[in-house]
Structure formats: structure tokens, C-alpha cells
Amino acid sequence: MSDLHAAVRKRFGVAESDFALDVAFDAAAGFTILFGPSGAGKTTLLDCVAGLAQPDAGRVAVGGRALFDSSQRANVPVAQRRVGYVFQDLALFPHMSVEQNVLYGLKPLPDGERKKRVLAILRSFRVDHLAYRRAREISGGERQRVALARTLVTDPAVLLLDEPLAALDAPTKAKIIDDLRAWNEAHRIPILYVTHSREEVFALGEGVIVLDAGRIVAQGTPHEVMTAPRQETVAQLAGFENIFDATVEAVHPERGTMICRIVSDPLPSHGAGSPVMIETPLVRAGVGSKLRVGIRAGDVLLATSPPQGLSARNLIPGHITSLEQHDVIVTARVNCGDAIGSVEMEVHLTLAARDSLQLAPGKEVWLVIKTHSCHLMQI
């Protein structure tokens, strides 16, 4: 049993923003992904596990060994925690060679043995040919590998990785992920892995924890967490201009879709009269359940006459209420409201599109939205 247990509360009294991290979870051996927008508290959580930040209250333990326990006033110094930490900016020692960097954390051993271990880990991350180069002279991907090797050679009991691959191109990233997976197979310790990337979540994740504003908002396997209707706050930060409350009207598991009715604002209406229905991807939700739908303004097409022969499943009539130009992007607001209230949709267009379609407030238009451009979230 070498599971990581972390229950951490930490408050930051920074001016007006009263941010508090308040999480509790257990992580078994293998990858646990921490996913969430920046400012969600992911790095602070890692700092608390490593001992670089001190929680106000809580307990951090690895396999029953308490690293921090506010009830017992226990706080093991960083250097004695055996928590490996690869920082976002790597923090390689710039005045040392690659070999010296990796030797740095290695326990005293006979000299030959130390060199052998360093060479072995450098070889397993395919950077052994760089051993005598200065850390500042090697490329980004190589630095990432050296930083991983430097931490892993110390044989940590827990491994913390703070977006270690964020700055890399996709092929380099995929290769390092393979190497990390191989290492994980051989060692089996809890690994907390912070990322913004969905690909990395699916490539590595055995478990995912979604953090937002200092709290855990979802937890499970990558499939459960990433395909389930998500918390709105997560999606909002991923840039949805259009967010509507909706009710599930019909479910079509055989097609992998469902039909949702958008709940209109009970305001004086100028709408066409029929409720706005849209086809969305299927999620785990029954008929009548309430969801929220997010649609990016850039994912919506606009037509001035009813288009035909389209693959897109959603065609919604409406009329333009306003046009605003921001730099080279035109934001059109389109009211697709029904008899009861208004449903206003934001659409992004180019200047050329506005001019060639001769768009102006009041003009009748049709909105075209693909099923998979509709993102569903829990309320």
C-alpha cells in the first residue's frame, strides 16, 4: 500500500479574491490526472503535497506515512518527503552539466554505482548522449527528459508532474508519454499529473480529478469525466460565448444523439413562434432532465436564406438584433426566440462575410450548428 492520501485546506487572503483550496482525495499507484482551468489550485495542491506550501489544515500521507498532519502538528521537511516534483519550468540547474543535474539528488553510493545509475536513467529517457552538455545548451524536449530523469533517479515515493509537456510539439510529447508510461509500469507509485490537454488525459489517465476554483468538481476515469456533462465553470473557461439552459426532449442512443429544447428567457419576445430545438451528442441523461448547452460563437454558421442539403442537423431561424465590430471580427447577435421569450445567440463572422451577405440589424437569417458543436454540461 503506497497510496497517496491528500486532504488539504488552504486559504489565500489575497486582497479581494478570497480563494480557498479545499480538496480531499486518494490516489492509487499509477497516473492521476489533475485537470482544470488555470487558477483552479492545481499547482498549489502539488506544492502542498511536496511541502513547498503549508496547508492551513489537513493531512498528506503516503502509504500511511504522514508527511503533513495539522491535528498532530506533523510537517516533514521537503527534503525528507521523498516526493519527486517536476516543475512546469523544469528548474534544471543551469550551472551544471546534464550528468551533474541527475547526480544531484542521488543518495551516497559507491562512485561507480552512482555513475552507472545516472547513465541507466539517461539511457531510458534517451538522453545519455547529452551527459556532459550544460543544461542550458540543450533543446526543450531534451530538457524535459533530463528533468524527468533527475527526479525519477531519486526513487521517489510519489511523483508530481506540473504540466511537464506543455511546451512540446505533439510528436515529442507522444514519445515522452510512452517513456513515462514504461517507467510507470516498472515502478507503480502514485503520480499526480497536471495538464490542460485532453489528449494527455486520454493518453495517460487511469483516473482524472477535475479541479475548479479550489474544489474537486468531477472525478473518475477519463471516459466518465470527459464525456459526462461537465460542470459549467469548466466549460465557460474553455471559451463558450453561448450558454443556454435546456431540457432533454428525446434520446436516440442508436444514433448517439439527443434532442434538447432551449429554455427561453421570459422577456418580451420578437421570436418566430416555435420553441428552439437542437440536436446534441448523447450524454448520460434521461428525458426531461435539465442540462446546459454551450456553443462557441465561432462554431455557428449564418445563412441569409434557408440552406438545403446540409450535413449539419440544426437549422434555426431568427433575425439579427445587433452587429458589432471588434478589430477584424464581427459579432452578430441573433434572436431565435419563440412565442414565450427570447433566445439570443452570439455568432462570430469575418468582415467579408458581413459585407457580402449585406447583414444589418433586423435581417432574417438561419443559423446552422453541427451536433458536435453543442457541448453539454451539468447544471
Partner 1 sequence: MSIDWQTFALTLELAFTVSLILLLLGLPIAYWIAFSRWRWKFLVEAVVALPIVLPPTVLGFYVLVALGPRSPLGRWWISLTGHTLAFTFTGLVIGSILYSLPFAVQPFAASFSTVDRKLIAASATLGASPLRTFFRVIAPLSIPGLVTGVALAFAHTMGEFGVVLMVGGNIPGVTRTVSIDIYDRVQASDYAGANQTALVLLILCFVLLAVVYGLNRKAWSFRPLQ
Of the candidates 38, 54, 93, 188, which one interacts with partner 1 according to CB under 8 A?
93
Q: Which listed range, 9-17, 102-110, 119-127, 302-310, lies at the site for partner 1 (CB under 8 A)?
A: 102-110
68 is a contact residue toward partner 1 (CB under 8 A): no
Q: Which one among 26, 54, 65, 89 touches partner 1, defined by CB under 8 A?
A: 89
Smallest gap from residue 40 Cβ to partner 1 (A): 20
- Compute the Cα dihedral for 253, 254, 255, 260 and give only its sign: negative
3-state helix, strand, coil in the chain (%, to 5): 25, 40, 35
Does 12 bind partner 1 (CB under 8 A)? Our answer is no
Which stretch in 82-90, 118-126, 327-335, 340-348 sits in contact with partner 1 by CB under 8 A? Answer: 82-90
Helices (H), the chain: 42-50, 98-103, 111-124, 140-152, 170-187, 198-204, 222-227, 232-237, 351-356
Which whole-number Å values give the CA distances from 363 to 133, 189, 308, 342, in the listed order? 66, 61, 20, 16
Number of residues that bind partner 1 (CB under 8 A): 24
Q: Please tell me whether residue 109 binds partner 1 under the rule CB under 8 A.
A: no
Among 23, 50, 148, 316, interactor with partner 1 by CB under 8 A: 50
Among 30, 39, 105, 220, binds partner 1 (CB under 8 A): 105
Verify binding: residue 263, partner 1, rule CB under 8 A. Answer: no
Q: How far is the CB of 76 from partner 1 (least distance, A)?
A: 12
Contact yes or no for 36/53 (Cβ under 8 A): no
- Other CB atoms within a 10 A radius of the CB of residue 332 amount to 25
> Edge-to-edge strand order for the sheet containing 17-27?
17-27, 4-14, 57-62, 65-69, 74-75
Residues in CB range of 339: below 8 A, 6 or more apart: 269, 271, 273, 274
Q: Quick one: 43 or 378, whose CB is closer to partner 1?
A: 43
Report the first-to-last Cα separation within the chain, whole angstroms: 37
User: What is the smallest separation between the CB atom of 156 and partner 1, expressed in angstroms?
Assistant: 8
Nearest distance from C-beta of residue 166 to partner 1, angstroms: 15
If DSSP codes are grouped into helix, strand and coil, which group holds residue 188? coil
Closest CA to 102 of 147, 60, 143: 147
- Told to check if 193 binds partner 1 by CB under 8 A, we report no
Q: Which of 2, 70, 154, 197 binds partner 1 (CB under 8 A)?
A: 154
117 interacts with partner 1 by CB under 8 A: no
Angle, helices 111-124/140-152, rounded to nearest 10 degrees = 130
Residues that bind partner 1 (CB under 8 A): 50-52, 77-85, 87, 89, 91, 93-95, 104-105, 107, 150-151, 154
